[in-house]
């Protein structure tokens, strides 16, 4: 009697966190997985409305996906953490995290999976493109001295690797469940944005590696789930608030004190760069742009101060975001 071989993807769990976007989730998961995907598919629904809960329940029932219906919105990190717990309890050995507004081919999934199965300490991503084929993200360098993000392929030849944190986007990546459990998943203090930067840094601190495979691709229709209808570039108030806040939370958690102080002094400049991601035309509505960024910056400053003990003889209140 010949035993049937088990498809390696049977050990993979695909995690997607939903918040009010069941149509996007269904379209992109079916596009990525097709029919008869052998692994687990866990859809985590961060509660938005009763109507959305009913709709995503019907979607999951129709495709045989596991629905984890959370009673509240636990954010991107919290939602993925809850979904990973379910997948690991059911025997998953690898996890593929995909944004609701992203998709990739089954062949890409298989090639990512082969590499992660061979290297249990690897966090691996595809190159992520926009729908028009332009680059969204691959490997990204966070330059500690500047507090700026730059593509790794643009790293200056004289750059000090010890002053760079390299990361891959949470929009699409894969890792082993062993590595995930060692990390403890995402740090839920971030709630949304920068938790992927934090995760990659902790992978490296544990002796693992972070990489994007230049031969593999996913597509991310950025902001489909956080963009008003008809808007093409403008970001949501949530984007501005959490990006402004969480850069300083990251500094508090993972940077030396001197670098954190430098980031604090660069807050106005950094927040302006964040705002420019949505274009200048949006500035006509400061309640959706400038004020969320300002609130996020102020909350981030408070978090930075609260995470660090005061130095003897130093008055923390003398720090100012307007210093140059």
Q: What does each of the 324 residues of the chain score in pLDDT, given as a tens digit?
A: 455 689 999 999 999 999 999 999 999 999 999 988 999 999 999 999 999 999 999 999 999 999 999 999 999 999 999 999 999 999 999 999 999 999 999 999 999 999 999 999 999 999 999 999 999 999 999 999 878 888 998 888 888 999 999 999 999 999 999 999 999 999 999 999 999 999 999 999 999 999 999 999 999 997 565 554 445 557 899 999 999 999 999 999 999 999 999 999 999 999 999 998 888 888 778 889 999 999 999 999 999 999 876 554 544 443 433 333
Mention the CATH class of domain 8-220: alpha beta
pLDDT at 228: 46
Burial 191-221 (b: 16+ CB within 10 A, else e): bbbbbbbbbbbbbeeeebebbbbeebbbbbb
Q: What is the pTM of this model?
A: 0.89
Cβ–Cβ contacts within 10 Å for residue 87, how many? 26
pLDDT at 314: 45
Are the beta carbons of 239 and 273 closer than 8 angstroms?
no
Which residue ranges make up each domain of the chain? 8-220, 237-318
Question: Rounded distance, CA 53 to CA 47, Å?
Answer: 7
Question: Rounded distance, CA 150 to CA 280, Å?
Answer: 21
pLDDT at 4: 60
pLDDT at 3: 52
């Amino acid at each position: 009697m010949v035993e049937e071989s088990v498809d390696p993807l049977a050990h993979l769990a695909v995690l997607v966190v939903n918040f009010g976007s069941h149509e996007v989730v269904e379209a992109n998961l079916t596009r990525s997985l097709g029919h008869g995907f052998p692994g687990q598919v866990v859809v985590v629904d961060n509660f938005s409305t009763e109507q959305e809960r009913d709709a995503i329940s019907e979607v999951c029932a129709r495709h045989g996906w596991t629905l984890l219906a959370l009673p509240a919105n636990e954010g991107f990190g919290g939602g993925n953490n809850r979904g990973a717990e379910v997948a690991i309890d059911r025997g998953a050995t690898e996890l593929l995290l995909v944004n609701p507004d992203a998709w990739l081919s089954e062949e890409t999934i298989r090639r990512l999976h082969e590499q992660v199965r061979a290297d249990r300490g690897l966090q691996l991503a595809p190159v992520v493109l926009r729908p028009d084929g332009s680059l969204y993200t691959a490997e990204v360098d966070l330059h500690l001295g500047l507090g700026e993000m730059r593509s790794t392929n643009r790293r200056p030849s004289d750059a000090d690797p010890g002053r760079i944190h390299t990361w891959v986007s949470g929009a699409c990546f894969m890792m082993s469940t062993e590595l995930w459990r060692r990390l403890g998943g995402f740090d839920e203090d971030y709630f949304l944005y920068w938790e992927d930067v934090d995760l990659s840094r902790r992978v490296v601190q544990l002796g693992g590696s972070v990489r994007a495979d230049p031969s593999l691709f996913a597509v991310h229709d950025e902001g489909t789930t956080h963009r008003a209808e008809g808007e093409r570039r403008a970001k949501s108030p949530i984007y501005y608030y959490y990006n402004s806040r969480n850069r300083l939370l990251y500094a508090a958690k993972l940077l030396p004190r001197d670098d954190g102080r430098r980031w604090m002094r660069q807050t106005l400049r950094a927040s302006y760069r964040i705002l420019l991601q949505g274009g200048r035309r949006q500035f006509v509505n400061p309640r959706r742009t400038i004020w969320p960024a300002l609130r996020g910056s102020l909350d981030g400053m408070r978090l930075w101060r609260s995470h660090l003990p005061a130095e003897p003889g130093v008055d923390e209140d003398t720090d100012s975001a307007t210093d140059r």
